[in-house]
């Protein structure tokens, strides 16, 4: 959705406005809670297209992906919500114990939490990009996250950034929450998508970069 004419500043402002709109769509469609998975898929559908230098119609693209991924994304969300609740309950129970091996058990559970968060950070982008069965999507998300090294940690940190900021700066809770409601999810998804599209389909991402560079040179030559 282009509000302003072409130009570096105009492109930046147009993308900024699009991310605000995208964030509003994500928030509204996530309100029933069980639709969080479908909303995440729709969110990444738009931001991964941005990362490929496309200019999709935000509202139409979002709702098409929301509808297309709804059943599978909701099932995946419920699976991971159940697994996350189980891990949280395990940690809570372990901290109530007074046994010598408690530290070892906590380390094991935290290691499992790492794998859980790593796969969770990839599974909804995988689901919307490849549009495969649930089992295959989870398997692919696991393989990609484990082979992604430091970038997996980066994606996890970016996704958890609002939580870290609230924990580190509790006095700015309102401001952090306000910024997140304005464009937090859209901005975070876009930053992650810049890497994810190169992980999922490096040839397509490279071709998109090349075409964008050629078009940029052509625009400069016309001026």
Task: Kindly report the number of other CB atoms within 10 A of residue 150's CB atom.
Answer: 7
Distance of CA 164 to the CA centre of its chain: 16
pTM of the model: 0.87
Q: Give SS3 for 115.
A: helix
- CA 47, 36, 138, 89 torsion-angle sign: positive
Max distance between CA atoms of the chain, in angstroms, equals 74
- Whether the Cβ atoms of residue 95 and residue 114 lie closer than 8 Å to each other: no
Domain contains 1:
no
- Alpha-carbon separation of residue 30 from 136, 185, 211 (angstroms): 25, 11, 35
What is the tens place of the pLDDT at every residue in 92-122?
888 887 777 788 888 899 999 999 999 999 9
**Contact (Cβ atoms closer than 8 angstroms) between residue 66 and residue 10:** no
| 131 φ/ψ sector (left φ>0, alpha ψ -120 to 50, else beta) | left
Q: Round to whole Å and give the CA distance between 39 and 31.
A: 10
Domain of residue 107, residue span: 8-222
The model's pLDDT over 71-92, given as tens digits with 9 standing for 90+, comes to: 999 999 999 999 999 999 988 8
Statement: residue 190 has pLDDT above 80: yes
Q: Considering its fold, how many domains does the chain have in total? A: 1
Query: Distance between CA atoms of 155 and 191, rounded to whole angstroms?
Result: 9
The confidence score (pLDDT) of residue 209 equals 81
Q: Is the distance from CB of 55 to CB of 95 less than 8 angstroms?
A: no
> What distances in angstroms separate CA 221 from CA 5, 10, 181, 207, 215, one per listed residue?
18, 19, 40, 21, 10
Report angle CA 65, 207, 151 to the nearest 5 degrees. 70
Could you give the percent of the chain with pLDDT greater than 90?
47
Q: What is the pLDDT of residues 31-45, one digit of tens each?
A: 999 999 999 999 999
In a domain, 2, yes or no: no
Report yes or no on 3 lying in a domain. no
Using a 10 angstrom Cβ sphere, with 0-12 exposed, 13-18 middle and 19 or more buried, the burial of residue 61 is middle
């Amino acid at each position: 959705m282009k509000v302003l004419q072409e130009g570096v500043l105009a492109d930046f402002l147009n993308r900024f406005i699009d991310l605000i709109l995208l964030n509003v769509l994500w928030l509204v469609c996530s309100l029933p809670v069980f639709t969080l998975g479908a909303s995440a898929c729709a969110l990444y559908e738009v931001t991964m297209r941005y990362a490929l230098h496309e200019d999709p119609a935000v509202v139409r693209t979002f709702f098409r992906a929301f509808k297309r991924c709804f059943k599978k994304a909701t099932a995946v969300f419920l699976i991971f919500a159940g697994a996350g609740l189980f891990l949280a309950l395990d940690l809570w129970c372990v901290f109530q114990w007074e046994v010598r091996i408690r530290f070892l058990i906590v380390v094991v559970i935290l290691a499992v939490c790492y794998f859980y968060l790593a796969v969770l950070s990839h599974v909804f982008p995988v689901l919307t990009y490849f549009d495969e069965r649930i089992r295959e999507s989870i398997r692919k998300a696991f393989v990609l996250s484990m082979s992604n090294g430091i970038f997996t940690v980066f994606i996890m940190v970016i996704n958890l950034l609002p939580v870290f900021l609230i924990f580190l700066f509790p006095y700015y809770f309102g401001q952090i929450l306000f910024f997140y409601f304005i464009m937090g999810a859209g901005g975070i998804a876009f930053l992650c998508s810049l890497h994810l599209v190169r992980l999922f389909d490096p040839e397509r991402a490279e071709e998109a970069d090349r075409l964008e560079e050629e078009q940029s040179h052509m625009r400069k030559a016309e001026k």
